[in-house]
Amino acid sequence: MAGEIELKGIRKTFGKVEAVKDLDLLVQEAEFLVLLGPSGCGKTTTLRCIAGLERVDRGKVFIGGRDVTELPPAKRGIAMVFQSYAVFPHMTVEKNIGFGLRMRHLPKEEIKKAVREVAELLQIDELLDRYPSQLSGGQRQRVAVARALVMRPEVLLMDEPLSNLDALLRLQMRAELKRLHREIGTTTVYVTHDQIEALSLGDRIAVMREGEIVQLDTPNEVYDKPANVFVGGFIGTPPMNFLKAKVLADDKDVFLAIGDFRLEVPDVWKAHLREMTDKTVILGIRAENIEVHPETNGGRLPANVIVAEPLGSQQLLTVQVGDDVLKVATKPDLSVQPGQAIGLALVKDKIRIFDVQTGAAITFP
């Protein structure tokens, strides 16, 4: 219970902009939950509502079963890591890390000990006497994390903590954050717009859009079974491919028609799909779930190569199918030329279909 966070119908508006719309969320104790979404989706506002830096217009915030809606940040049992790190420039690293403990009026010796411990954990114990201006970006980031962890908060909040680091450092820090979470096990809410970060760090990911959570699931589920077109398009590099398809049925079989091509569907869908006969749907498939064959015989979806990009571990093709453009991932050594006609095979179990109007995934029990 201690580190559980529950948001009940919280709403936050800025002027006429609804940043968060009646949002419900339950974060389990010791869970690492990622709030993921494009900028302006309300993820940071949600985090700030948990922190108490924003006052919700409506709804309730519970931390550890306690109603903290009316409490200031200081009394919520949280600690936060800011995107800018917000390391106090007029204090040494030691003073920075010990700041929160001093606010709690702990004995000096105890503070010193706790600061040293957490500094060792983050490998910045050599830097304790320095001022932030003497630190690199990565070191400052560690100070910010240390400063939050030393509080032993019930809940750790992180607002895009890695976005100001360069790519290599970000990779390294990502792994470190994962290690820290495993060791300490503090409930963590982590805001990012970087879907790779979200996939690698999160126990669960809450994908947000326009102030609402559109999908809340484990990274694998979010990746493989996006709840709608938005999630599929937002997560994954390259994003999920979408093409229009029509549900066709005859006496024996049900299938999806892409132009003249007939695509087989999983058997369990068939009964349900039959009810949607003649409807148009959006078919979604990830680049790595498309197989490429140099010949274009009958059983394959005919396509034309537009561009072939070698990316080292794989090769990314941009191909044209009818009016749609798809991205296809292949082995790096497959030799294709722009303009070449190829045949595509879509992995049957990995196909998702979505409603044309709402973009929501159509699923069958």
Chain residues binding another protein by CB under 8 A are 14, 51-55, 57-58, 72-74, 78-80, 82-84, 86, 88-90, 99-100, 103-104, 147-148, 151, 157
Name which of 20 and 231 has its Cβ closer to another protein.
20
Q: Provide the minimum distance between the beta carbon of 57 and another protein in the complex, in angstroms, as a whole number.
A: 5
Q: How far is CA 145 from CA 2, 31, 57, in A?
A: 21, 18, 30
Q: Provide the minimum distance between the beta carbon of 37 and another protein in the complex, in angstroms, as a whole number.
A: 21
Q: Provide the minimum distance between the beta carbon of 97 and another protein in the complex, in angstroms, as a whole number.
A: 10
Name which of 50 and 258 has its Cβ closer to another protein.
50
Structure tokens at 93: 């690293």
Name which of 62 and 88 has its Cβ closer to another protein.
88
Q: Which long-range contacts (CB under 8 A, 24 or more apart) does 129-137 make?
A: 129/92, 129/93, 129/94, 130/92, 130/93, 131/89, 131/91, 131/92, 131/93, 132/87, 132/88, 132/89, 132/91, 132/93, 132/96, 133/89, 135/87, 135/93, 137/164, 137/165, 137/166, 137/169
HSE toward the beta carbon, residue 44, CA cutoff 13 A: 11
38: DSSP letter: S
Name the strands in the sheet holding 5-14, side by side, starting at the edge strand that comes first in the sequence: 17-27, 5-14, 58-63, 66-67
Q: Provide the minimum distance between the beta carbon of 51 and another protein in the complex, in angstroms, as a whole number.
A: 6
End-to-end CA distance of the chain: 33
Q: Provide the minimum distance between the beta carbon of 80 and another protein in the complex, in angstroms, as a whole number.
A: 4
- Neighbour count for residue 268 (Cβ, 10 Å): 10
Name which of 165 and 222 has its Cβ closer to another protein.
165
Beta bridge partners of 318: 307, 327
Q: Is 344 exposed, middle or buried (0-12, 13-18, 19+ CB in 10 A)?
A: buried
HSE toward the beta carbon, residue 356, CA cutoff 13 A: 10
Q: Provide the minimum distance between the beta carbon of 151 and another protein in the complex, in angstroms, as a whole number.
A: 7
Name which of 73 and 238 has its Cβ closer to another protein.
73
Structure tokens at 350: 């990995």
Name which of 103 and 307 has its Cβ closer to another protein.
103
Beta bridge partners of 241: 285
Cis bond upstream, residue 238 (ω within 30): yes
Q: Provide the minimum distance between the beta carbon of 90 and another protein in the complex, in angstroms, as a whole number.
A: 5
Name which of 51 and 180 has its Cβ closer to another protein.
51
Helix extents (H) in 19-155: 43-51, 93-103, 108-121, 137-149
Name which of 101 and 285 has its Cβ closer to another protein.
101
Cα–Cα–Cα angle for 162, 167, 172, rounded to 5 degrees:
70
